[in-house]
């Protein structure tokens, strides 16, 4: 009888422990709660195992990303707290680039754009610029 209760307690303890996902970002190790990732970044590369699989390092047992770790900390803070804020030492375009790289939800990206007063994306390759030069002769 005690064995059953011990097993029950063990199962309950396992269920109470958060499942952590390890990310190695530019040499810095981060561990994030899987439930919080699913809650706050459900469609991102971080949340979707099928999409993050290409970044998995089997030897290190972590997902490896070549992104700036100081900027990734902002994303960790958002996932942990639900608050999106950019410290003054983090460039807003680098953070925008990171949010885009991890394919964060459009509402998160749009909120960030409004916060930072960023203009909409400009696809420079598809924009054609026409410049007219006039030759003026002065006498």
CATH topology classification for 2-126: Potassium Channel Kv1.1; Chain A (3.30.710)
Q: Per-residue pLDDT tens for 20-58?
A: 999 999 999 999 999 999 999 999 999 999 999 999 999
CA angle 56, 48, 57 (to 5 degrees): 5
Three-state SS string across 63-121, please? EEECCCHHHHHHHHHHHHHCCCCCCCCCCHHHHHHHHHHCCCCHHHHHHHHHHHCCCCC
pLDDT for 131: 47
Residue 136 CA, distance from chain mean position: 53
Q: Per-residue pLDDT tens for 69-126?
A: 999 999 999 999 999 989 999 999 999 999 999 999 999 999 998 888 765 554 444 4
In angstroms, rounded to a whole number, what is the distance separating the alpha carbons of residues 7 and 100?
A: 44
CA-CA-CA-CA torsion sign (62, 65, 68, 73) = negative
Contact 62, 23 (CB under 8 A): yes
Beta strand 56-57 with 28-33 is unpaired
Where do the structural domains in the chain lie, given as residue ranges? 2-126
pLDDT for 18: 74
In angstroms, rounded to a whole number, what is the distance separating the alpha carbons of residues 105 and 113?
A: 13
Over residues 6-20, mean pLDDT = 66
In angstroms, rounded to a whole number, what is the distance separating the alpha carbons of residues 137 and 24?
A: 63
């Amino acid at each position: 009888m005690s064995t059953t209760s011990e097993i029950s307690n063990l199962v309950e303890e396992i269920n109470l422990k958060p499942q952590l996902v390890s990310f190695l970002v530019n040499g810095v190790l981060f561990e994030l709660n899987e439930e919080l990732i699913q809650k706050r970044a459900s469609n991102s590369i971080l949340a979707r195992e099928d999409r993050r699989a290409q970044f998995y390092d089997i030897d290190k047992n972590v997902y490896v990303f070549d992104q700036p770790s100081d900027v990734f900390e902002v994303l960790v803070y958002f996932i942990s707290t639900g608050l999106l804020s950019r410290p003054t030492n983090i460039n807003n375009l680098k953070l925008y680039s990171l949010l885009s790289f991890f394919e964060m939800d459009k509402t998160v990206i749009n909120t960030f754009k409004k916060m930072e007063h960023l203009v909409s994306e400009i696809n420079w390759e598809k924009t054609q610029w026409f410049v007219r030069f006039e030759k003026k002769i002065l006498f």
